[in-house]
Chain A
Amino acid sequence: MAKSAFEEKLHSDKFLVTSEIGPPKGVDVSEMIHHIEILKDRVDAINVTDHQSSMMHFPSLGGCLLIKEHGGEPVLQMTGRDRNRLALQADLLLAYSRGIVNVLCLTGDSINSGDHKDAKPVFDLDSVQMLHMIRMLESGKDAGGNQLKGTPCFCSGASVHPEADFLEPQLIKFEKKVAAGAQFFQTQGVFNVTKLREFSEYASQFNVKVLAGIIVLASARMARYMNNNVPGIILPEEIIDEMETAEKGRGLTKGIEIAVRSIKLIKEEKLAHGIHIMAVGNEGVVPDILDQAGSGGVNQ
């Protein structure tokens, strides 16, 4: 099967831009469709989160189907938190049958951080095992070794945390993901340029594309909250201080300013092969960020 549009771009020298949308809690998908319309011609692919922060939402796969219907390029985020290997494979088969082939394999946040704290955490597979499972499906067999009728093919990716306190174990896992066939990486939000420079130099030895995660902060309060409560986010004090300097009601403008500055730096210093913008509910500002950063757009 032909590669996905996103996979073809992964093999080019283009500076890649992806962004993400979070499905609603409920069946009113109008805002999500609005975000798809805003983003689809400005980014190379749109991720759809999988019960973001372990909070129950409209499914990632449903969001990806909507992106396809509206002419966009989806990336199916898939965590192992809520589904065992049977359910994950079944969703992958459905995804492939509908032309959704870009998959981001994640272990998933813990159940405790979400809004169904009493639920049974599944975690049958971790992200590395999920990548291996995809390789098995692509070989024509399921994870149990049984023959498939019709073989799918995916463009699989994973995440990495370049700013982790204990970086070496993260890098060891990163290398396992590369060995398991991850073609692209979308990093956790990066704010520390020194650490990103170090990671960039390290990652350059591998034949994978790294998209640096850009989180658009909306206020100092949000920054502090995320720093304390959102797994995988380490905000330097100076970023929080900078957010504090924003005039009342102008936090998002300051957040956009920081995001634009980061993107420009990443491009100038070639610290990544692209960026992954996480606007956390403010998806409408992504085109503005891309305009200001002189970046992105499917045809740029």
Chain B
Amino acid sequence: MIVAEQKPLSEIKYLISPYKQILVLGCGTCMTVCGAGGEREVSFLSQALQLEQSMNSVSWQGFQEYTVKRQCSNEFLDVISDIVTTIDCILSVGCGAGVQTLARRFPDMPVLPGVNTSLLGMEQQPGIWDECCVACGECRLGDTAGICAYTRCAKGILNGPCAGNKNGKCEVNHDIDCAWVMIYKRLDRLGQLDKMRHYYSMRNFKVTPRQIGLIQKPDLAGESDG
């Protein structure tokens, strides 16, 4: 799941300072679950800003609140198209993908991020998320016992532990388990330690912004301009 944290109120105030009518827009999927930008957080944030408005001299005059099912899908943004004609900016508490989908969908509307999109995480305990995936596009979890070396090793080492781990903990943070010790233990438990002996070659970092689709793109090669 995508996990985010709300930006400090001072930064949000700075971001919206040039605008008068503001739509605080939540997202009903990941941001709702991680508690950074669902309906509840939209309400809290809106109230906090209105409180600020009542106490200090600020430019903004009105807030509207809305939470769409999913900010990163165009189809779920149609419902706000009427609201958008009545505002000066969108303060999105969706993830970075949500903010950018809004910016593309509403080209004349400033869209501001109300959260810092932090990681792709798994729940360690309620409210605490561990980063576990960097969406690298080259998944090797089948070789590493379901524990991502690239994400969870502080150095992203693919061929085994560095010398820095101590008592099974990472040299970067002694509270975090060394990814490679975890991988080793679990491969051992699964009877698959031979996988650790494989050489994992240099990664393909695919620097170009990536695009994937379930629908086959049309082959444009043979099409004429006319």
The reply to whether A232 and B172 contact each other, CB–CB distance below 8 Å, is no
Q: Which of A102-110, A204-212, A282-290 interfaces with chain B?
A: A102-110
Q: Which residue in chain A gives the minimum CB-CB distance to B162?
A: A107
Q: How far is the CA of A132 from the CA of B172 in the complex (A)?
A: 26
For B199, the chain A residues whose CB sits under 8 A away are: 128, 132, 176, 179-180
Chain B interface residue number, banded:
20 to 34
Q: How far is the CA of A127 from the CA of B162 in the complex (A)?
A: 9
Q: Which residue in chain B gives the minimum CB-CB distance to A80?
A: B155
Distance in angstroms from A124 CB to nearest chain B CB is 7
Distance in angstroms from A72 CB to nearest chain B CB is 27
Also in contact, A113 and B171, with CB within 8 A (given A107-B155, A232-B164): yes
For B205, the chain A residues whose CB sits under 8 A away are: 124
Distance in angstroms from B85 CB to nearest chain A CB is 42
For B163, the chain A residues whose CB sits under 8 A away are: 159-161, 164, 170, 188, 231-232
Bitwise, A155-199 to B at CB < 8 A (1) or not (0) is 000011100111011101101100110000000100000000000
A292 at the B interface (CB under 8 A): no
Q: How far is the CA of A293 from the CA of B156 in the complex (A)?
A: 41
Q: How far is the CA of A123 from the CA of B157 in the complex (A)?
A: 8
The reply to whether B166 and A123 contact each other, CB–CB distance below 8 Å, is no
For B173, the chain A residues whose CB sits under 8 A away are: 112
CB within 8 Å of B: which of A64-86? Answer: 81, 85
Q: How far is the CA of A267 from the CA of B210 in the complex (A)?
A: 56
Q: Which residue in chain B gives the minimum CB-CB distance to A112?
A: B172
The reply to whether B164 and A126 contact each other, CB–CB distance below 8 Å, is no
Chain A interface residue number, banded:
35 or more
Bitwise, B180-211 to A at CB < 8 A (1) or not (0) is 11011000000001001101111101000000
The reply to whether B155 and A123 contact each other, CB–CB distance below 8 Å, is yes
The reply to whether A129 and B202 contact each other, CB–CB distance below 8 Å, is yes
A294 at the B interface (CB under 8 A): no
A36 at the B interface (CB under 8 A): no
Q: Which of B165, B193, B205 has the most CB of A within 10 A?
A: B165
CB within 8 Å of B: which of A108-128? Answer: 108-110, 112-113, 121, 123-128
The reply to whether A231 and B171 contact each other, CB–CB distance below 8 Å, is yes
Interface residues of B (CB under 8 A from A): 154-168, 171-173, 178, 180-181, 183-184, 193, 196-197, 199-203, 205
Interface residues of A (CB under 8 A from B): 81, 85, 107-110, 112-113, 121, 123-129, 132-133, 143, 159-161, 164-166, 168-170, 172-173, 175-176, 179-180, 188, 231-232, 234
